[in-house]
Amino acid sequence: MKTLDGKGRESRSEDSTVESLTFFQRFLQGTRTGGLFFLLAIVSFFVPILHFVLVPSFLIASLALGIQEFRKMQILHVRHFDCTSCGHAVETDKPFREWPVRLKCPACQIDLWFEKE
């Protein structure tokens, strides 16, 4: 995994892993996200006047966001990388589900992103 900073500098992250999700895991993520907005649509049904806007909006959002979550095929785990600008060793355990992955260096606040090799 390459770490880039937009100024042509790059470093390598050796212990980053890309985990492919199974169909069932993707289905669960999509259902969880879509279901949350579906519940909001049901709750907003009881809000006077605003329910004319809220219910269709949440229903559309439940479908769109559920499908969007379902289409995410991989999880990237970046555990350790070196900042390309200041060389600071950054530790993180946050999983990322979208490319490109963007992070800020906590030491120099420069924007960094990761690229597949």
Report in angstroms how near the CB of residue 107 gets to Zn ion at its nearest.
4
Q: Select the residue interacting with Zn ion from 86, 95, 111, 115 (CB under 5 A).
A: 86
Task: Indicate whether 85 belongs to the interface with Zn ion (CB under 5 A).
Answer: yes
Task: Indicate whether 83 belongs to the interface with Zn ion (CB under 5 A).
Answer: yes
Q: Select the residue interacting with Zn ion from 44, 63, 108, 113 (CB under 5 A).
A: 108
Task: Indicate whether 107 belongs to the interface with Zn ion (CB under 5 A).
Answer: yes
The tokens describing 115, both together, are: 């690229």
In the chain, what are the helix, strand and coil shares in percent, each to the nearest 5? 35, 25, 40
- Please tell me whether residue 10 adopts helix, strand or coil conformation: strand
C-alpha to C-alpha distance for 38 and 45, rounded to whole angstroms: 11
> Longest C-alpha distance within the chain, in Å?
56
The residues of the shown chain that bind Zn ion, judged by CB under 5 A, are 83, 85-86, 88, 105, 107-108
